[in-house]
Structure 1
């Protein structure tokens, strides 16, 4: 658990702190960023705010616990808190921890160490935009390749696959806009931010796939009924479909990796669409071969199958993104939250834990029970400590609302 203390608030702990750290600094003007284990302080960082910077005066972790990432956790606590306070840099003159700070990213500057630009660029936005732009360019290339190859190679299945790639261009543009707008800061009208736009874009993409699939199947079925399918595809069309398979496979891997790393539901949905495109291009190759070796009707049948696969993926995307919009609860995640609070705080009764997901961010609300004779001040401090700890140890948690109940005798 993590907690920030003023000197007056930490007075009762002074004897213990001097015992674990003989060089403990009594500073009435500083803030003590503490990490606790079962209500015992095991490490701290003494920090002073100077204009828009933090001065890290001392940092200490109890002996025997220094190689369990506790120092890194404390420093991360200071950095994250600094971001919330619009701190520009953290400065440290303590040479005893020079090597540790350098590993974290501190640089030597004018005889001291400093970590600047802690208001870092949102890596999630940068990576997401890069992936989507790459997807747009590649899908334009594949759409032109397959539609042109399908027309000159007399393959309706390849043309259908090309139209699918063209629809991917539209969905990728929608995702790009979603990434941009979803990362606009919260405002008075949208206090929870704009991240849900990603899920809305994911839903729109799913609907777009359904419409595309319907038109492809409809056209192929009409052609099948008419019986006008005498043209036999050429062998060169197999090459275009094979190129599409390879490109789409690597697009799927790339999008899924970044989508999972950044927890972007729209990007994950787009990755799944690229995966279905790999199968559809494989089906196109089989259909073309059967059309050449047996009958041109197989080219039409495969184009229908491609349409059905696109339709299925569209339904899957809509269901998945709708669960986020409808705030479906993640029981496993909620259980982790309950266990974390009960293990790391004096609270042993956590209940009514609910989550609301918006993009990659999670908003939590929960109830805790405290002794009925606990003062409002202490209950408030306890709740603040739980909130700070959850936000720090669970990267995707953006905010926590805690209601305090009293224990019934």
Structure 2
């Protein structure tokens, strides 16, 4: 017997949720480090970066909860599963990103018009370490999201990438302030303001990605063609008509119309339809958990 597709989806969701939890721990540590560095090093860019990391903890908790719910198998109240919880969590995270970008931008403007001390030189290696760690973890999330088809992990990866961008902007701004000397103390604040614009664009990309899943946007044509090829290899299937595939969290749902010999018995047609369903569900790289097959006679 092939493995239960819903059990496999739950396993992928649990693995993704554990990775998100590691990201939460990472954000807690980095937030403390950046806040201390910002206060002692006289740089608002680091303080703003720390505040963003703290907010990231709450948004990551939303992604974690969304993945845990998305991994649940179908029940009477949710016959198609709970997969939509994942892109909905992604939409909630994008709201956090937009609010945080606006908050940091407002405070950056305040710091620009308020005289303050120049940042300390030792904040540069601290920021370089933060950028390196964030980029590494973002790539790890992105790879896992790609292998599991998880929108939530993709959004989380983009979020960590945005954090790395904020820290990189602070690094550039502090470098300018230290190199240019008096009169350029607010360079890191300008850098933080510029990073907010980029983060807002990044948030828009997160929003579009999550919205596509919520709205049942068609999967890529190459994916649909792979589904069609698998169905056509089933003995008895002579042709295909409609094939609709939609993403639901970490899995896909398929509606497909196959054509068979019109002289077959109802039972024989049913057996072919069942074979198509089994073949698609067994194609584990595609994470198909449910298939509806409609049988039509060849004309």
Is the TM-score greater than 0.5? Answer: yes
Give the Cα separation in 2 of the matches to 1:198 and 1:264: 8
Give the Cα separation in 2 of the matches to 1:342 and 1:353: 12
Give the Cα separation in 2 of the matches to 1:200 and 1:183: 14
1:9-408 mapped onto 2 (5 Å cutoff)? 78-80=1-3, 83=4, 122-224=10-112, 227-294=113-180, 295-330=184-219, 331-395=221-285, 396-408=287-299
Give the Cα separation in 2 of the matches to 1:394 and 1:123: 13
**CA displacement, residues 140-184 of structure 1 (integer Å, 9 cap, x when unaligned):** 111111122112211111112112211221111111111222222
Aligned-residue offset at 1:120: 8.1
Structure-2 residue corresponding to 1:32: none
Aligned-residue offset at 1:371: 2.7
Give the Cα separation in 2 of the matches to 1:156 and 1:121: 43
Question: Which structure features the higher share of helix residues?
Answer: 2
Aligned-residue offset at 1:394: 4.0
Question: TM-score of the superposition, structure 2-length normalised?
Answer: 0.91
**Contact 2:34–2:46, Cα closer than 8 Å, also in 1:** yes
User: Between Structure 1 and Structure 2, whose CA radius of gyration is higher?
Assistant: 1
**Contact 2:91–2:211, Cα closer than 8 Å, also in 1:** yes
Aligned-residue offset at 1:405: 1.6
Greater shift in the superposed pair: 379-388 or 394-403: 394-403
Change (3 A) 1:373 1:121: closer
- The count of corresponding residues between Structure 1 and Structure 2 is 293
Q: Matched residue of 1:184: which SS?
A: coil
Give the Cα separation in 1 of the matches to 2:211 and 2:20: 22
What are the ranges of 5 or more consecutive residues in structure 2 without an aligned counterpart?
none
**Contact 1:390–1:397, Cα closer than 8 Å, also in 2:** yes
Give the Cα separation in 2 of the matches to 1:382 and 1:343: 11
Change (3 A) 1:209 1:120: closer
Q: Matched residue of 2:293: which SS?
A: strand
Give the Cα separation in 1 of the matches to 2:124 and 2:83: 42
**Contact 2:14–2:68, Cα closer than 8 Å, also in 1:** no
Question: TM-score of the superposition, structure 1-length normalised?
Answer: 0.68
**Contact 2:171–2:188, Cα closer than 8 Å, also in 1:** no
Greater shift in the superposed pair: 194-203 or 143-152: 143-152
- Aligned CA RMSD, in angstroms, stands at 1.9
Higher RCO (CA-CA < 8 Å; seq separation 6+): 2
**CA displacement, residues 196-235 of structure 1 (integer Å, 9 cap, x when unaligned):** 10110011111110110011112222443xx213321111
Q: Matched residue of 1:364: which SS?
A: strand
**Contact 1:161–1:306, Cα closer than 8 Å, also in 2:** no
**Contact 1:131–1:254, Cα closer than 8 Å, also in 2:** no
**CA displacement, residues 88-137 of structure 1 (integer Å, 9 cap, x when unaligned):** xxxxxxxxxxxxxxxxxxxxxxxxxxxxxxx7894323322321221111
Give the Cα separation in 1 of the matches to 2:268 and 2:15: 42
